[in-house]
Amino acid sequence: MIFNTAAGTDEMSTITSATKVHASRDHVACDLEDETVLLSLRTGEYFGLNEVAASVWKLIQEPRTVEEILAGLLEEFEADDVDRCREEVIALVKQLMELELVSISI
């Protein structure tokens, strides 16, 4: 959905549908058409989010569970396989965690 990095810590593997996700406050975001560009104020790195990941980013400006994120995406986009969509949301959350762009509570 966004990056090609792989999650690796045990904490990240415990993300479930009930996990709450919240965007870090240490960033600046800018919308560009159907995408969002993030600047991490911690690292000075820029990250590009595609249309779906940008929708997730908007949803997690307030703490939301993975299931609430999924529900928001399903309202906005068509999905043939809800379970696969859930897996992709979890993978995105893991990637954002690695980049220190989100925090989670389990």
pLDDT in tens, 49-73: 999 999 999 999 999 999 999 999 9
Kindly tell me if the per-residue pLDDT of 5 is higher than 70: no
Task: Kindly state the tokens that stand for 6.
Answer: 């792989």
pLDDT digits (tens, 9 = 90+) for 65-96: 999 999 999 999 999 999 999 999 999 999 99
Phi, psi of 45 (to 5 degrees): -90, 145
Using CA atoms, how far apart are residues 12 and 14, in angstroms rounded to an integer? 5
Question: What is the pTM (predicted TM-score) of this model?
Answer: 0.84
Contact 75, 69 (CB under 8 A): no
Domain map of the chain by residue range? Answer: 10-23+52-101
- Residue 24 has, within 13 A of its CA and on its CB side, a CA count of 19
**Chain centroid to CA 12:** 13
**Chain centroid to CA 31:** 15
